[in-house]
Amino acid sequence: MNYLLFFLLISLVNCKGCKDQCECPDLLDRLDWPERGNVSYAEGAGCFRNITCGTSYYYTLVTFNFTESEIYRNDYFNSPAIALSINYEVQTGPNINIFQFFGMICENNEWYITKYPYGINYFTTMAEELEIGANGEFDGKKSKILRFKCELPSK
């Protein structure tokens, strides 16, 4: 074992600054609604974030495209698929850290979600509205974030 190389590698991995940098673009640029200022946002080490929509937003959601997702569907109409933060019968309420809730991660300069706590809503080519994966079966699959929204309950 080459110890010099070993210690060099260790110091590279631990180097100060490297760990705190996030290669991904500003996640708030993907926020559709409301204003950035209405959303509570904090940056932690690396690409860790806290994003909370605020007390009056229930229907928070993330949109993505099945062409940029590990979830395979062959019947979708060309409109964004929607990862939901609620179940229509049981509302989870506001003040969730959506970063954690949807398992947002940064990889190769792109933001992805990896959790679908209440499944996905999308339109099929037959103009049928479907809800799938509400049992969490898609958790762990990556989907590139198109936009996210903090929507009002009235929506």
Q: CA–CA separation, 22 vs 26, rounded Å?
A: 9
* Number of C-beta neighbours around residue 66 at 10 A: 18
The answer to whether 58 and 151 have CB atoms below 8 angstroms apart is yes
Under the binding rule (CB under 6 A), the answer on residue 124 touching ligand NAG is: no
Please report, as a single letter, which amino acid is at residue 122.
Y
Using CB positions, name the residue nearest to ligand NAG: 42
Q: CA–CA separation, 153 vs 155, rounded Å?
A: 5
Taking CB under 6 A as the criterion, the residue among 1, 12, 14, 37 binding ligand NAG is 37
Taking CB under 6 A as the criterion, the residue among 11, 40, 56, 95 binding ligand NAG is 56
Under the binding rule (CB under 6 A), the answer on residue 80 touching ligand NAG is: yes
Q: Which residues bind ligand NAG (CB under 6 A)?
A: 34-35, 37-38, 42, 44, 50, 54, 56, 65, 67, 78-80
